[in-house]
């Protein structure tokens, strides 16, 4: 066993690790020892390739069908216009009473703080989101503060993005101070892919900043495949757990990535061994450019029933869809 100290996420500065990310398809393919014909590659200037070295290290070299590679590799299939696939697949824009604040569900609001991410997932439902309206430089703008003050029924703020942990500790600290001015907000949920794809981000300094929040913290990881969990990010996740915070995971069901019950069962066990509860299994949001990841309803239900037969109830994620206009995530009933 490799001693944890060797794999301490804090041995390297997260910003320099981020700076080593892959930005060019050719560089990533070279690194992974994979050849891909030009006509198979997608050109997506608004949403280019971005992959951390940590994530790239987990891709099986020489395997063009690797499930981690397929999540981040821009393909020509993205360029196809498919009926029913939209820019705002989950209705965020209709639910923004104040620029940069999404209020869809009772008791909670979501702040898509930044468009920046450490990796660009090709199925991302916010790949077309107008982040210019959403960005915060730390302290919340007056209009958001007034909205939070007016809505005393709110209990929870969800930090999202992009990836909220791409913000510096200083900006996050300003944000926490703003939230602490609203004593009715007792829960702060942080949705972040960095927790698994850039574990160096989980530092004592970051946890100090977040723990200044006057309430409970909940971390939501976004892990789609068991190969995404390995010793380095397990150490980072363990640190969060040891600080006493709840960890949940959401997974998106993706064709050729995780559309096998055995894969999802293995993911659930691996999450649990990393102190994370499998929370949601999302069907694909119908965002333009993602149709090649879609799975039919029939196959989804067959897969979920098989998964149900393999897992104890506490490891079975809830199968849900995000349907615009609904008051909560919609459970998919498979009969």
Interface with ligand SF4 by CB under 6 A: which residues?
A: 117, 119-121, 124, 126, 161-163, 193, 222
Angle at 218 between CA 124 and CA 174, to 5 degrees: 85
Q: How far is the CB of 327 from ligand SF4 (least distance, A)?
A: 23
Nearer to ligand SF4, 18 or 261 (CB): 18
Edge-first strand order for the sheet with 330-331 is: 108-112, 156-160, 187-191, 216-222, 246-252, 277-282, 318-321, 330-331
Question: Residue 11 or residue 168: which is nearer to ligand SF4 going by CB?
Answer: 168
Q: Within 10 Å of residue 328's Cβ, how many Cβ atoms? A: 11
Question: Which H helix or E strand runs over 153?
Answer: none
Q: Which is nearer to ligand SF4, 66 or 261 (CB)?
A: 66
Half-sphere exposure of 12 (CA within 13 A, CB side): 15
In the complex with ligand SF4, the residue whose CB is nearer, 161 or 289, is 161
Closer to ligand SF4 at the Cβ: 87 or 242?
A: 87
Give the residue with the Cβ less far from ligand SF4, 222 or 225. 222
Nearer to ligand SF4, 120 or 239 (CB): 120
Which of 184, 215, 166, 219 minimizes the C-alpha distance to 108?
A: 184
Minimum CB distance to ligand SF4 smaller for 287 or for 311: 287
Contacts of 251 (CB under 8 A, 6+ apart): 222, 223, 224, 258, 264, 267, 278, 280, 281, 282, 317
What is the smallest separation between the CB atom of 58 and ligand SF4, expressed in angstroms?
Answer: 15
The CB-of-50 to ligand SF4 minimum distance in angstroms stands at: 8
* Measured distance CA(135)–CA(132) in Å, rounded: 6
CB of 46 to ligand SF4, least distance (A): 12
* Residue 82 Cβ vs ligand SF4, minimum distance, rounded to whole Å: 19
Distances (CA, A) of 175 to 95, 96, 110, 164, 180: 22, 19, 13, 11, 9
Query: Taking the complex as a whole, how short is the minimal distance between the CB of residue 74 and ligand SF4, in angstroms?
Result: 12
Residues whose CB is less than 8 angstroms from the CB of residue 11 and which lie 6 or more positions away in sequence, other chains included? 200
| CB 29 to ligand SF4: min, Å | 20
Whole-Å CA distances, 90 to 3, 48, 106, 126: 44, 22, 16, 9
**Phi-psi domain of 244 (left: phi exceeds 0; alpha: psi -120 through 50; beta: other):** left
What's the min distance (Å) between Cβ of 193 and ligand SF4? 4
Specify whether the CB–CB gap between 162 and 192 falls below 8 A. Answer: no
């Amino acid at each position: 066993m490799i001693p944890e100290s060797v794999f301490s996420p804090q041995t390297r500065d997260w910003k320099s690790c981020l700076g080593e990310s892959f930005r060019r398809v050719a560089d990533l393919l070279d690194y992974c020892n994979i050849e891909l014909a030009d006509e198979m590659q997608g050109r997506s200037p608004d949403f280019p390739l971005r992959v951390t070295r940590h994530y790239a290290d987990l891709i099986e070299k020489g395997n063009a069908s690797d499930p981690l590679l397929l999540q981040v590799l821009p393909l020509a299939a993205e360029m196809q216009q498919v009926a029913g696939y939209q820019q705002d697949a989950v209705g965020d824009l209709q639910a923004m009473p104040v620029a940069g604040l999404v209020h869809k569900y009772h008791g909670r609001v979501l702040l898509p703080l930044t468009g920046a991410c450490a990796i660009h997932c090709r199925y991302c439902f916010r790949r077309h989101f107008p982040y210019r309206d959403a960005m915060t430089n730390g302290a919340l703008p007056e209009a958001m503060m007034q909205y939070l003050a007016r809505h005393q029924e709110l209990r929870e703020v969800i930090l999202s993005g992009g990836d909220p942990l791409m913000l510096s500790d200083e900006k996050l600290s300003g944000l926490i101070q703003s939230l602490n001015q609203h004593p009715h907000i007792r829960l702060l949920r942080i949705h972040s892919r960095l927790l698994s794809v850039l574990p160096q981000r989980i530092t004592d300094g970051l946890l100090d900043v977040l723990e200044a929040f006057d309430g409970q913290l909940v971390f939501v990881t976004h892990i789609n495949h068991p190969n995404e969990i390995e010793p380095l990010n397990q150490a980072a996740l363990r640190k969060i757990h040891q600080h006493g915070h709840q960890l949940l995971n959401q997974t998106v069901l993706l064709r050729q990535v995780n559309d096998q019950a055995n894969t999802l069962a293995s993911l659930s066990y691996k999450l649990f061994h990393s102190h994370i509860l499998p929370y949601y299994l999302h069907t694909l949001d119908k965002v333009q450019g993602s149709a090649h990841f879609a799975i039919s309803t029939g196959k989804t239900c067959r897969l979920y029933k098989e998964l149900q037969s393999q897992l104890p109830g506490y490891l079975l994620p809830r199968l849900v869809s995000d349907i615009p206009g609904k008051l909560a995530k919609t459970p998919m009933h498979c009969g």
